[in-house]
Chains A and B, each alone.
Chain A
């Protein structure tokens, strides 16, 4: 199974500033990559995913993530955050053809005015 490292546990950021959340995984075999967001007292919601094709994937609310196979990374970025982006963000990885999702420990993003 994959091991997933989210390098930052807490990221405070001012409104309209950019943010980057880092995610690295352990194995360079073919993988599926996901970012989930968890708002307070809610379940996880899929933010975006990489399955194949273009290494840059985007979400509908302005987030993007880039798959870097050589560095086994899938960092999440947003050029300008809103107060409503305050949440916990989880990176998850599975080997292609395997059902098992391995999650990182999460990064708490707190957006301040």
Chain B
């Protein structure tokens, strides 16, 4: 079955450390997205990509970086510059246009 896979499910980061969250899809979707979800808030867009080798900053891109070298993959790196990284991170993909998203199961990142 087609879907979108995020790993790991749980991730712990020490102060000053960079960590990378994985996102892979086999839906043949062109567009991919990274969102951050905090309690009581709507999903906030970090980065999105509409095509391979191209990506755009979302509303809260500071302290994050991404790459899109393959259509299937859109990894997110949370750098040490992100001062409040503890959150639930969601990756999504969609066909280009006015279509709903398919989400992964999320990665919960905690700073220790």
B partners with A? no
Chain A residues with CB under 8 Å of chain B are: none
